[in-house]
Structure 1
Amino acid sequence: MASLKIIALSAFCFQLALLSEPPCVMELECAECVPENMPVVTSHRAANGSVRARAGEEARAGVRGRQVLAYPLHESLRAVCEAGRYRVALDRKLRHLLELGCQESVFEDVLHQVDRCGAPYQGRAYQMREPITGTVRHLATVCYDEDRAVAIRMHVTNAARNHLQLPPHEDHTAPLSLLGNFNHMFDAKTRHDAEKLYSDDARMNRRLHELFKHDKYSFAAQKLTSANLLSKHYFEDQNMRVTDFVSNKVAVWESVAEGNLRHLQRDVAKLLEMARPHEELEVYAGTHGVLSLRTGHARAEVFLRAARRFPVPRFVWTAVVARARRAGVALVLLNDPFVAVSEVRAAVFCDSACGGVAWLHELRRHRNYECPLQGLVFCCHLHNFTSVVSEMPLDEVQVDAGVAGMLNNNLFV
């Protein structure tokens, strides 16, 4: 009996020790907290932007075709969470997550055929290779204007694991890595320039002030920053890391990025999450027009590089489509905190219906969507939207006319 008590006490103490140890947390939204090329964790699902394993739990990671830096002969790892770090099964060494990165990213931004994205534009696909089967899964498509170095339209779905169904094609016809694309659409120089521009807000704003120093333009403490067209939270699980590609970034004003662009994307992400068990929704996002600033009696368009490249877009838009219901809505954000009251009417090119879109909780709070400083937002029927914004062809989606074609309620039952 005494020995049974000792065994039970030992087991209890062991469990208590495990519970008192910190968990292993992979913060997927923190670029500094995970390896530059993060493996795909196949043993746990992500939630709220992180993967968590309790002390004593085994985590398995796959990097099919892209060996682990610390173990170049292996494409997968098993490790047990121990005191916030990982005891690797191969050699029993205790390692930090940052030591367990892949040699290359499991995500790829590749040249790819995209419907209704013909010359002068070129298509791309964001894809990954399944760590277990090795099959290619497409997560999003991009229609990119390489001449101006800006995405004009992107596409993602809330289907399980963001599996975007594309028309029949052969994957081997598309390059399998960025290295295979450098001489195509998104070449090495474009990529380098984009990463340099969007990785440093201070450098971006020095360029902006240099461009307008002779006009003595007052920016009234406004600053530019980089923002994602497709939010991380449009994607499930660890797929959110696919949004880090620079082809997904544009320059917007800081007050707009922290204001209505954030509110808009939160509302869309919440809608996608709520709908996922019930129906498939599709999200398109893109840019339209070039911001112009009034300098004296004229206006000057804002391009952050020579040869009219890297424009600051005038409009950043998001369209949500419920194809089965033949309904959708376009949310258009005016990226211009300097717009005059007399200019607003001309800028808003449809009769806004934001007040009647019930699922726009964050955006409609205190009617902030009407504030230009935070990025004025107006909501359009897709028919009206596509008549102005040619970057989104109406025949890309089929929606009903009038009220029946407006996605204004989250009718998921």
Structure 2
Amino acid sequence: MAKLVKTQVMLAVCLVFAVEQYSVAANAIERNCILPLKPDWSFFSPLIFSLDGTLISTESVSDEAEDITLAVGDEVLLSCAPNYFREFSSEKVLRAKCKKDKTLVVDGQDKNFISELFCEARSIEEIIVPVRGCPSNARSIEYGYTNPVNSRSYILGEACYDVKRGQTLFVHTKIRSGTNTVEALALKTANNAEYFRREHPTSRYKVELNKALNINDHAERFKGVFGNKNIPKIEARRYVNEDLLTHKQYQSVLKLAWNYQIVKDLSLLENFDNLVDDIADLDAKEVEIYTGAHGVLSLKDKNNHNVDVYLKENRFPVPKFHWTVVRSESRAVAFAVFNKAQLTD
């Protein structure tokens, strides 16, 4: 009987100890700062750096993580440069300390990361500059950011798009490096903290593109051309999607206007997704891609005549095909994905 009582006491002690350990662990996890990189599509997250200027990664959490985890007391730099914070309108860079959850301490005051520490504009900026291969009647840009500690600017990629026609001609970016350092994953770097303080594209093109992609608007127009039963299903995807981003903090790239590609029946373009997956999985020291669109898709209208498909009158064409060139060191291979299953021309 005494042995049974002793065993029960030991079990009770172990249970209490386990509960206490669980409680301590739970409290520790609860108190960590979890900073979401994209709580919603309208959120402009600052870039988050350690005090030594290292862009903090999410890879230590999981490959799918879309937030930054900080321990209580960790200090970081939040950067909107070359833009400013919405709540701190004269500040481009803030020093912050993790308190708990989504609360950071800035200048001695508690601030919610989502509602009080967002940028007035994206932290990945784009500037209008000449880009090799882009015709003079098109707009050429570089995009990237500036490190607030070493004052170096990192150009992540470049793009060329025809604003008048409404079509991206090409995008050029690096997606892989053997070292995977920030420097190696940039197309180039500049020892200039003011590099991205030049002329920026306005938001007008993006607004016009979003209107053109409105399903109700173009579907109604297509009814008169193709009839009620043959309205083409038009969607949008990205040239550089999340799988091709070289850092989880580069979410702003997904919002840039030239990064939208217009496709017909996305569900039929399985080869497109397979191509992106294969590129993302390449085992190579260094990989760059050039990708873009070409031509205008032609379909039969309700009178059996060939008509070119535009989302607006002679603007925002549905491309005949999308192309991608993958380059690794001295080798390159090209792919084309057409916007319809059967070709008639």
TM-score, with length taken from structure 2: 0.76
Cross-structure match for 1:319: 325
Is 1:36–2:43 an aligned residue pair?
yes
Is 1:122–2:123 an aligned residue pair?
no
- Closer, same or farther in 2 for the Cα pair 1:196/1:23, shift >3 Å? farther
Is 1:309–2:315 an aligned residue pair?
yes
CA distance in 1, matches of 2:107, 2:156: 32
Contact 1:232 1:241 in 2 (8 A): no
CA distance in 1, matches of 2:286, 2:206: 33
Following superposition, the deviation at residue 14 of structure 1 comes to 8.4
CA distance in 2, matches of 1:312, 1:81: 49
Following superposition, the deviation at residue 15 of structure 1 comes to 4.5
Cross-structure match for 2:237: 227
Is 1:21–2:44 an aligned residue pair?
no
Contact 2:152 2:191 in 1 (8 A): no
Contact 1:144 1:151 in 2 (8 A): yes
Is 1:99–2:116 an aligned residue pair?
yes
Q: After superposition, give the CA deviation of every residue in 1:167-188 in whole Å (9 maximum; x if it has no partner).
A: x99997986252xx44xxxxx5
Following superposition, the deviation at residue 114 of structure 1 comes to 0.7
- Closer, same or farther in 2 for the Cα pair 1:189/1:45, shift >3 Å? closer
Q: After superposition, give the CA deviation of every residue in 1:43-91 in whole Å (9 maximum; x if it has no partner).
A: 3313335233155252522233433223335421313151x32231423
SS at the partner of 1:93? strand
Cross-structure match for 2:160: 143
Contact 2:291 2:323 in 1 (8 A): yes
- Closer, same or farther in 2 for the Cα pair 1:108/1:21, shift >3 Å? same
Q: After superposition, give the CA deviation of every residue in 1:119-176 in whole Å (9 maximum; x if it has no partner).
A: 333321112122323332211111212231111111001343331138x999979862
Is 1:155–2:164 an aligned residue pair?
no
Cross-structure match for 1:58: 74
One of 211, 219, 241 as aligned partner of 1:196: 211
Q: Any gaps of 5 or more consecutive residues in structure 1?
A: 1-10, 183-187, 347-413
* Greater length-normalized contact order (CA 8 Å, ≥ 6 residues apart): 2
Structure number, greater radius of gyration? 2
> Structure 2: which amino acid aligns with 1:37?
F
Q: Any gaps of 5 or more consecutive residues in structure 2?
A: 1-19, 51-55
CA distance in 2, matches of 1:59, 1:260: 45
SS at the partner of 2:135? coil
CA distance in 2, matches of 1:169, 1:81: 34
CA distance in 2, matches of 1:23, 1:169: 35
SS at the partner of 2:281? helix
**Larger fraction in helix:** 1
Contact 2:44 2:122 in 1 (8 A): yes
CA distance in 1, matches of 2:319, 2:199: 29
CA distance in 2, matches of 1:315, 1:56: 51
> Structure 2: which amino acid aligns with 1:213?
G
CA distance in 2, matches of 1:103, 1:36: 9
Larger mean Cα displacement after TM superposition, 49-58 or 308-317? 49-58
- Closer, same or farther in 2 for the Cα pair 1:54/1:17, shift >3 Å? farther
- Closer, same or farther in 2 for the Cα pair 1:235/1:88, shift >3 Å? same
RMSD between superposed Cα atoms in Å: 3.3
Contact 2:158 2:173 in 1 (8 A): yes
- Closer, same or farther in 2 for the Cα pair 1:73/1:108, shift >3 Å? closer
One of 205, 209, 217 as aligned partner of 1:206: 217
CA distance in 2, matches of 1:303, 1:329: 30
- Closer, same or farther in 2 for the Cα pair 1:170/1:145, shift >3 Å? farther
Cross-structure match for 2:261: 250
Is 1:330–2:323 an aligned residue pair?
no
Following superposition, the deviation at residue 104 of structure 1 comes to 2.8
SS at the partner of 1:42? strand
Cross-structure match for 2:127: 110
- Closer, same or farther in 2 for the Cα pair 1:262/1:22, shift >3 Å? farther
TM-score, with length taken from structure 1: 0.65
- Closer, same or farther in 2 for the Cα pair 1:215/1:88, shift >3 Å? same
Is 1:289–2:295 an aligned residue pair?
yes
Cross-structure match for 1:398: none
Q: After superposition, give the CA deviation of every residue in 1:293-346 in whole Å (9 maximum; x if it has no partner).
A: 11233211111122x2111112112211113xx222222111124x36xx3xx5
> Structure 2: which amino acid aligns with 1:19?
A
Runs of 4+ in 1 over 6 A off after TM superposition: 11-14, 168-174
CA distance in 2, matches of 1:131, 1:14: 39
